[in-house]
Amino acid sequence: MTFDRRNFLKSTAAASLTGLGLPAFSADAAYPVRPITLVVPFTPGGSVDNSGRLMADRLSRALGQPVIVDNRGGAGGAIGSSFVAKAAPDGYTLIVTSQSTHVVNPAMNPKLPYDAVNGFAPITLIDRLPNVLLVSASLPVRSFEELVKYARANPGALNYASAGLGSVSHLSMELLKNQARLPMTHIPYKGAGVALPDLLSGQVQLTWNNLSSNLGNIRNGKLRALAVAAPTRVPQLPDVPTFAELKLPDLNLTSWTGLAAPAKTPDAIVQKLYIEMRKILSEPATKATWLDKGMMVPEDLAPAAYRKEIGERIKFYQRIAKDNKITLDSN
């Protein structure tokens, strides 16, 4: 057997530490020792980017190393997600996960260049984002009940905007359309931001989007929120009922953003990031910031539970797509 001086010294040092009642040295214990890249798989300015930057700033301080945001947008988040899935599993390349990249994309596209469930090591949620049923201020309805009456009395009058074919907003609105028996026509756009001017002007009358992206327009009266998808009424909209209150519990799902690493990242690193994130999310200053931006501080979701939720939600949206015969080739 060839004598390996380096391994001999490592084993001797570890044995000495153990003899003193101290834990043996591990490379993971020193993590991180250099800057971390946090990939946001979308262009700057959206809700996923906003959540990622808020957490990156706080993680930098908690870990004592820069956490550098790297926007790698394109293909509905698939470019950035694929990049991280193929990155070295050493904890120095992370990703901001979202409903789009890790739920709807895999639900709608079996040919994605990454495996949303097994291609990553989920860490935990950054936030939960209440979804809101929004109508243009020009529409003469001020409650969900009034919307139902108006839609049924004026068949063909309502067009709803989505962020694109097979998006969360598309699938959720089709579920709403069927369960509440609302005659509406789908108008797909290339993103929620592109649809916003037409919604504000009244060219389309409804949409489904997260609260954080629309809180300003709700507060200034340009949009009305008729229902919110959240466990309870949200403090920013105390008079707006949840979908559960409206007897539509299937629609009462929040969106979320989270943090993940490439698959096979050492569990010690995953656990360290999970613990640091939970500390950050328990801070009063973080809770105040999340509230101000229309976000919810998430419950304590451990890595295994986070992976389970991703898998369950993929199946949920697959069922909606199948029941409504929605494919990426739908017209």
Summarize pLDDT for 116-126 with one digit per residue, the tens. 999 999 999 99
Query: Up-side HSE of residue 294: CA atoms within 13 Å toward CB?
Result: 23
DSSP character string of 175-215? HHHHHTT---EEEE-SSHHHHHHHHHHTSS-EEEEESTTTH
- What is the fold, at CATH topology level, of the domain defined by 131-251? D-Maltodextrin-Binding Protein; domain 2 (3.40.190)
At residue 168, φ and ψ (nearest 5 deg) are: -55, -45
Task: Please check whether residue 161 is in contact with residue 197, taking contact to mean a CB–CB distance below 8 angstroms.
Answer: no
Q: What SS3 class is residue 54?
A: helix
**What pLDDT sits at residue 330?**
57
**What pLDDT sits at residue 190?**
85
The answer to whether domain 12-17+24-129+255-323 and domain 131-251 are alike in fold is: yes
Task: Please check whether residue 295 is in contact with residue 236, taking contact to mean a CB–CB distance below 8 angstroms.
Answer: no
Tens-of-pLDDT digits for all 331 residues of the chain? 333 444 434 444 444 333 333 333 344 568 999 999 999 999 998 889 999 999 999 999 999 999 999 999 988 899 999 999 999 999 999 999 999 999 999 999 989 999 999 999 999 999 999 999 999 999 999 999 999 999 999 998 999 999 888 899 999 999 999 999 999 999 999 888 889 999 999 999 999 999 988 999 999 999 999 999 999 999 999 999 999 999 999 999 999 999 999 999 999 999 999 999 999 999 999 999 999 998 999 999 999 999 999 999 999 999 999 998 998 875 4
Single out the residue of 320, 318, 331 nearest to residue 176, CA to CA. Answer: 320
**What pLDDT sits at residue 16?**
38
CATH homologous superfamily for the domain 12-17+24-129+255-323: Bordetella uptake gene, domain 1 (3.40.190.150)
Where would I find the beta strands (DSSP E) of the chain?
A: 36-40, 67-71, 93-98, 120-129, 131-136, 159-162, 185-188, 206-210, 223-229, 255-262
DSSP category for residue 296: B
User: Could you tell me the residue ranges of all domains in the chain?
Assistant: 12-17+24-129+255-323, 131-251
Residue that has been written with the tokens 């908690």 in this structure? 62
